[in-house]
């Protein structure tokens, strides 16, 4: 008998947010995601990563014990230290990505935020 996989979740109000990169094939885009990693039953860590599809490269990553906006901010800052800033930052609409901390950081660097549904 196998146990069913159940990852921890978050909830966010999914109001209408635009997917800005849909028709921008030549734009510099960073894609971001958080991956859940179960170290042992009931013990999770979270891998925040930023990927640039144009160069097929992971630009930055951070691992944290909590899935919070701070983890995403640290990952973005790490990428900005070593790479040219993108025109667009594309993510899902998770609460970490829609947080004031992330939105403020992107606005300060004049990076447009695009969302997938």
Q: What is the pLDDT of residue 34?
A: 96
Question: From the CB of residue 2, how many other CB atoms can be counted at a distance below 10 Å?
Answer: 4
- Of residues 34 and 15, the one with the higher pLDDT is 34
pTM, 2 dp: 0.79
Q: Domain boundaries in the chain?
A: 29-115
Domain 29-115 has CATH 3.30.420.10: yes
């Amino acid at each position: 008998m196998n146990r069913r996989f159940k990852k921890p979740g978050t909830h966010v109000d999914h109001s209408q947010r635009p997917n800005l990169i849909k028709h921008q094939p030549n734009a510099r885009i960073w894609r971001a995601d958080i991956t859940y990693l179960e170290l042992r039953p009931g013990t999770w860590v979270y891998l925040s990563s930023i990927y640039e599809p144009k160069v097929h490269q992971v630009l930055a990553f951070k691992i944290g014990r909590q899935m919070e906006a701070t983890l995403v901010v640290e990952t973005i800052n790490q990428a900005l230290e070593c790479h040219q800033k993108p025109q667009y930052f594309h993510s899902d609409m998770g609460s970490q990505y829609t947080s004031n901390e992330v939105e403020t950081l992107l606005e300060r660097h004049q990076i447009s935020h695009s969302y997938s549904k």
